[in-house]
Amino acid sequence: MSISWKAAETASFQSFANCYLREIDGGKPVRHAILADHVDCIEWLLAEDRISLRAEVTSASLCGPQHFGRVWKRAASETAWHPTDPMSALQSLMHEAYRTLRGSNSQDLQGCETELLLRVMDSHQQISMHVEHAIADHNRDDDFIAAEQSLVFGHWLHPTPKSRQGMTFWQQETYAPEFHGQFQLHYFAARNELIEHSSAAADPATTIIDALARQGSGSISLKDGETLLPMHPLQAQALALDPDIEALMREGSLRSLGAAGAMFTATSSVRTVWSGQTDWMLKFSLPVRITNSVRINRRNELDAGVAMAKLVERRGLAREMPNFRIIKDPAFITLALPGALPDRSESGFETILRENPFRADGGRGVVTLAALTADPLPGEASRLARLVGRIHATEGGGIAKIAATWFRRYLACAVEPLIQLYDRYGLALEAHQQNSLIDISQLYPRLGYYRDNQGFYLSERHRPDIARTVPETETIGSLYFPEAEINDRFAYYLIVNQVFSVISRMAHDGLADEIDLIRILRQTLEKLALRLRGSGRDFVRHILDRSQIGTKANLATRLVDADELNSTSGHSLYRTMPNPLTLAEVVNPPQERPHAIAS
């Protein structure tokens, strides 16, 4: 068995088992005897397969993923435990998860189970392939695009973290971020009257697109009355087979011009592309199902990006928060299909223009939190461990002290500004670890970034003030939410998904004690709450005073084969979990507690 295949097995079981622990069955902690030794395990009783399963816990966590090692099983009729491979154990957990759901819709669930198994295997194969490529690549740079393209294991709390349906293996070499492929955009020419565009940037979207198309190789020739439309090459292939688009091309209202302009490469989201030569990233719809969903730019999201860019500028947020930046999506362009098509809100040409502060050397030292907290490649240290190690080599002193200082500075630029933003303006950001970036060019965090126009929550409490600043927010769907709903989601994305991942990463790497870091988080939030007066203060009390905190039900979503971005039952996507911020040893720390972590 190759190193990459074994790493993929471990990662696949670990992500699925952590979902199962959080959403289905927390299992029973036990000690498993191996000759004269004992190891910590979690044991599950699986009625569907009539077995018990034990997974070795090699590194435990109060707030993040458990790390698993060996796995054993025992039939109901046996007394002895037998080693089993992680993928067989994963399938047993899957069978049991479906047993808990079975009822009148058991036939439908049978199809869902087959689909989920296919995605699990696809994700496993993807991880193996990406690990093998990453080991051979040797690029461990701390810069924007290197970090974006380093996420070989995917999200630790997803049952199919690297599932990617709709992209062939030969296409992945060019279009998947893990392979660092480069490509030009595909351009179309459309009649002016079919074009819709808007911009809060200095230039109209059409001017930006014209400049992009002529920046690099390829010949672009427009007729009078035509406008350029950029497209991801994969989406261009899919659109060419769309009957409505084919009709426009037959009548000459839309023409395919081919590849042109600068070379781009995929970021971690796959569908947002970056170039070191341009001032803009572009975000496209893509005919690929990534983890839970086919990724589509919705029409209201285009308008939301422009409206939020106006809000950021008109409120002067960059001036107010010098250690935090929102990367704006201030312009869009799309094709409006002629005629009444009530069942179709998007043409497929919806393209978002995103600021690119990371062109050329601008991305040096800026990394996504998802890369910083990701599990390391086999035999290597994590990106965060390497970073703390570099500080230690320069400063000396205790590792735990350095880690605590690093964590406090991270909170100051990546967490506190977001809560202050919510408090002052009623704007909450879906700041999960992939949407959040930090500048570590000076080793310690000094500047936080947020990206993604799909992740804005505007508070109903602040609606009058926001509407006065940007009136069009009143007409854009899915922007305003009651604060009770915002608090639950904000707690998940900012605290559970992002901050807890940093804490658990440091603990798994032996950099700091997990309880110490959770205590620092609580103390930081308590002090912050004293300076807040409205929505932000209510949010902080929401996460500090409740014994449960929100989390996302990625396994439950996958079990019923739901596309979360098209779900009509949004609350079913979320669950609760025990809140480690309310643990007695966190709330009431001892006077002195020596560090158990060696420096």
AA letter at 25: D
Interacting residues of 59 by C-beta distance below 8 A, sequence separation 6+: 66, 67, 507, 508
Of these ranges, 335-339, 405-409, 557-561, 590-594, the one predicted with the greatest mean pLDDT is 405-409
Q: Are the CB atoms for 436 and 500 separated by under 8 Å?
A: no
The identity of residue 456, as a single letter, is: F
Cα(583)–Cα(52) distance, integer angstroms: 30
Mean pLDDT across 364-388: 97
What are the pLDDT digits (tens) for 501-551? 999 999 999 999 999 999 999 999 999 999 999 999 999 999 999 999 999
Exposed, middle or buried by CB within 10 Å (0-12, 13-18, 19+), for 582?
middle
Q: Which long-range contacts (CB under 8 A, 24 or more apart) does 81-87 make?
A: 81/32, 81/54, 84/53, 85/9, 86/9, 86/10, 86/12, 86/13, 87/9, 87/12, 87/13, 87/124
Tell me the backbone φ, ψ of residue 7, rounded to 5 degrees.
-65, -40
Q: Contact, 455 vs 434, CB < 8 A? A: no
Q: What is the pLDDT of residues 216-263, one digit of tens each?
A: 877 789 999 999 999 999 999 999 999 999 999 999 999 999 999 999
- What's residue 340's pLDDT? 56
For residues 406-410, average pLDDT: 98
pLDDT digits (tens, 9 = 90+) for 168-215: 999 999 999 999 999 999 999 999 999 999 999 999 999 999 999 999
pLDDT of residue 105: 59
Tell me the CATH class for 367-545.
mainly alpha
Common-topology check for domains 3-136 and 367-545: no
Inter-residue contact 325 to 447 (CB < 8 Å)? yes
Categorize the per-residue pLDDT at 59 as very low, low, confident or very high, splitting at 50, 70 and 90. Answer: very high
Say how many C-beta atoms besides its own lie within 10 A of residue 361's C-beta: 9
In this prediction, residue 160 has a pLDDT band, given cuts at 50, 70 and 90, of very high
pTM: 0.95
Instruction: State the pLDDT at residue 571.
Output: 41
Q: Residue 499: what pLDDT? A: 98
Task: Supply the mean pLDDT for the chain.
Answer: 94
Cβ atoms within 10 Å, residue 346: 18
Percent of the chain with pLDDT over 70: 96
The pLDDT of residue 116? 95
What pLDDT is attached to residue 103?
Answer: 60
Per CATH, the number for 3-136 is 3.30.310
Q: Are 425 and 466 in contact (CB under 8 A)?
A: yes
Would the pLDDT of 342 be above 70? no
Among 80-89, 335-344, 510-519, the range scoring the smallest mean pLDDT is 335-344
Task: Say what the pLDDT of residue 570 is.
Answer: 46
pLDDT at 595 over 70: no
* Better pLDDT: 571 or 596: 596
Q: Parallel, antiparallel, or unpaired for β 272-274 and 254-266? A: antiparallel
Kindly report which listed range (159-168, 260-269, 339-348, 404-413) carries the lowest average pLDDT score.
339-348
Angstrom distance (rounded) from CA 572 to CA 560: 11
Can you give the residue ranges of every domain in the chain? 3-136, 181-355, 367-545
pLDDT at 594 over 60: no
Cβ count near 578 (within 10 Å): 15
What is the pLDDT averaged over residues 425-431?
A: 97
